[in-house]
Amino acid sequence: MNRKANTILFMLGATVFNVLVVILTFFALIIPYFKFLEPHAPEGTQLWSISFIFLASIASSFVAYRYLLKFLMAKIDFEKYFDPLFVKQNIKKK
């Protein structure tokens, strides 16, 4: 495989990883909430609680992705196997 294909596969894998972490974290937080906290929560706080849990899931996905990326960068030479996503182009002035 070439570097472009490796980059595309890595981005697809990273996207799947992020979605899975969000889903798993959401259910890991929502189940205890409904089992223990929701019956004792004040009236009308359910929407705010679920919103907070969803945002916490997204934040945990970001943190997990950063740690995984740091680990992979220590093990794999990204410049050798992956194409850069953004390339600085020199624009000549006339």
Is 89 domain-assigned? no
**What is the residue range of 60's domain?**
3-81
Residue 93 has pLDDT above 70, yes or no: no
Nearest 5°: the CA angle 82, 88, 91 is: 150
Query: Which 3-state string (H, E, C) describes 72-94?
Result: HHHHCCHHHHCCCCCCCCCCCCC
Q: Which amino acid is at 94?
A: K
26 Cβ neighbours under 8 A, 6+ residues apart: 53, 54, 57
Is 93 domain-assigned? no
Quick one: pLDDT at residue 94? Answer: 62
Q: What is the pTM of this model?
A: 0.76
Find where tokens 């794999």 sit.
76
Write out pLDDT tens, residues 33-92: 888 887 777 888 888 989 999 999 999 999 999 999 899 889 988 888 888 776 777 777
What is the total count of domains within the chain? 1
